[in-house]
Amino acid sequence: MATACNERKNIQGHPCFGGNHHKNGRMHLAVAPRCNIKCGYCSRRHDCANESRPGVTSRLLTPQEAIVKVREVVASDILGPIIKVIGIAGPGDPLANEETFETFRLIGAEFPHLIKCMSTNGLLLPEKIDLLQELDLHSLTVTINALDPRVGAKIYSHILYHGKKLTGTEAAEILIANQLEGLRRAAAYGMTIKVNTVYIPGVNEDQIPLIGRKVKELGAFVMNVMPIIPQADFAGIVPPTPALIDEVRSANEQIIGQFKHCRQCRADAVGLIGQDVAVVETACVVNR
């Protein structure tokens, strides 16, 4: 087992953790199709050219295809100089896919200078964190939408955990406990941690400052409050206005630093935040 450390790993240049997002870019590799929770706001079925949201990719990659793509991008005169980060953010949950770990092994062996980053729902984080440390993961994003299991039960319809499908507050209790324990252990390893929270009006407003205080206490570096994208179970909900999001972020900034230039990126985003290169070849396809 790897040994915990007290110093944060070097993530200089990461556009989501203080790096200049106008000059430093990232490349997301869509190698993780399977997911182990069902979020009420998540839809991964459609992929259209004008979409920019989590869970969207024009095609899935194997780890071997992913490393070929990285070679192409790194060799590019345009993209090569700006890509600082290789991230895995779906379209499912990276920790529920062995392809994630194989991809990070390949990246580490061939491109050790690139920052390795991952986004997860955190359900499997406590049992996978030692492996992520061995793979030299630099930065980690964990999506935490509630600390109260009763609120979590309104957001997550079920989790798939150790061969069982769990629902309601039982499922939410396990998910929340694992998110917090995984975050604590990741911070002890020196990983730089961002917490994403999806703001769902009428559901989890009161949870946002509570999450901010708790994750700051456990070692998170920054928090990203994101407006819900109305779809799936929450298709009829009215999302918070940009002004309200700014207000919530400003209030939360008294607790923990806020990430304010999020564009809710696709699982295959490449380039600068908000200025991704074209990633789809057809007008609209369905992920399988």
Question: Shortest CA distance to 200 belongs to which of 216, 211, 213, 214?
Answer: 211
pLDDT for 48 equals 46
| 210-247 pLDDT tens trace | 999 999 999 999 999 999 988 888 988 999 999 999 99
- 3-state class (DSSP) for residue 65: helix
The structural domains of the chain, ordered by start, are: 25-286 (3.20.20.70)
CB 27 within 8 A of CB 86: yes
Q: Residue 130 is encoded by which pair of tokens?
A: 């030692």
pTM above 0.85, yes or no: no
81 preceded by cis ω (within 30°)? Answer: no
What confidence score (pLDDT) does residue 4 get?
45
Radius of gyration of the chain (CA): 18
Q: How far apart are the first and last CA of the chain?
A: 36
Q: How confident is the model at residue 1 (pLDDT cuts 50, 70, 90)?
A: very low
Q: Given pLDDT bands bounded at 50, 70 and 90, which one contains residue 273?
A: low
Q: Write out the two tokens for 195.
A: 């917490």
CA distance 194 to 124: 17
CB of 284 closer than 8 Å to CB of 48: yes
**How do residues 54-97 score in pLDDT, each as one tens digit?**
555 567 899 999 999 999 888 887 776 778 889 998 889 999 99
**pLDDT over threshold 50, residue 3:** no
pLDDT tier, 194 (very low <50, low <70, confident <90, very high otherwise) = very high
Residues in the chain: 288
Residue with tokens 């769902």: 200
Model pLDDT for residues 118-177, shown as the tens digit of each residue: 999 999 999 999 999 999 999 999 999 999 999 999 999 999 999 999 999 999 999 999
Distance of CA 134 to the CA centre of its chain: 20
